[in-house]
């Protein structure tokens, strides 16, 4: 099982998503799957982000994404950002 690390920005993003009315219960099973290194459901579209070493994105819901970094050697998964495409990439 991987240990979870959370960035300050991720914590702020979660508060923002909660204020926007997102169902935070949707992100919990995805994080649990990542920490236990399970294959995520197909709807998550779990993919590496080109050009960002070791960073991945996965879809939580309609225009709601999770950006994370997995370091299996260190036994950690770092939750970096969550939000819409506009929030994360513009």
pTM over cut 0.85: yes
Side-chain half-sphere CA neighbours of 83 within 13 A? 18
Q: How confident is the model over 35-76, as pLDDT tens digits?
A: 999 999 999 999 998 887 789 999 999 999 999 999 988 999
Q: How confident is the model over 26-40, as pLDDT tens digits?
A: 999 999 999 999 999
Of 24, 9, 28, 18, nearest to 78 by C-alpha is 9
Topology annotation, domain 3-80: YaeB-like fold (3.30.2310)
């Amino acid at each position: 099982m991987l240990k979870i690390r959370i960035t300050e920005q991720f914590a702020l993003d979660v508060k923002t998503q909660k204020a926007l009315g997102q169902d935070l219960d949707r992100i919990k099973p995805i994080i649990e799957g990542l920490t236990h290194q399970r294959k995520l459901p197909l709807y998550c579209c779990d993919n590496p982000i080109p050009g960002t070493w070791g960073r991945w994105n996965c879809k939580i819901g309609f225009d709601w994404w999770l950006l994370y970094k997995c370091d299996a050697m260190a036994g950690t998964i770092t939750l970096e950002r969550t939000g819409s495409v506009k929030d994360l990439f513009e």
